[in-house]
Amino acid sequence: MPRRRIKSRTFDGVSPEIIQPKILLIRGQRVMLDKDLSSLYQVGTRDLNKAVTRNLERFPADFMFQLTSDELKNLMFHFGTSSWGGTRKRPRVFTEHGILMLSSVLKNRRAILMNIAIMRTFVRLRSMLASNQELSHKLNQLEQRIEKHDHHIKSIFEAIRDLLKEPELPRRRIGFH
């Protein structure tokens, strides 16, 4: 009897929960730092950056960019790292397309498998964002309907209050008739 392959929630041994927190939003783009990519690919950050430097024509500005000093300080503050330890150079960050291009630069099997896992995580994030936007749109529509209903309900209550008021009896005139 042939064995059935059970799909797991991991991509080639790495769960999306490990990759997803490493995806940052910088300059309005979802990116990953060179040090995070090198740890996933199990290569040194220096080796990864050397491979990129040898193939710079494959990495235009929309695939990869280097953080500014202010962005690096902000990132260090965000993650609570010390100013005298850790990175000595401004890190490179790679967009989704840059990460895809890394698979052609780094030739080891682990890099290829990790690229597939990272791409699947990006796709998963994109679908989550799309469903969140759809949910937000539906909530806005519901809110608008409720506001319309509120207006109608208020007018019904006003009409009921008018009906519940005691009718004013004509007053007797005082004086000579």
Task: Summarize pLDDT for 36-82 with one digit per residue, the tens.
Answer: 888 888 888 899 999 999 999 999 999 999 998 888 888 777 665 55
Query: Structural domains in the chain?
Result: 16-131 (3.10.260)
CB 34 within 8 A of CB 102: no
- Note the pLDDT of residue 64: 92
Task: Summarize pLDDT for 21-48 with one digit per residue, the tens.
Answer: 888 888 888 899 999 888 888 888 899 9
- Note the pLDDT of residue 85: 55
CB 160 within 8 A of CB 152: no
- Considering only CA atoms, which of 30, 47, 29 is closest in space to residue 39? 47
- Note the pLDDT of residue 54: 92
Rounded CA gap, 35 and 23, in Å? 12
Q: What's the pTM?
A: 0.58
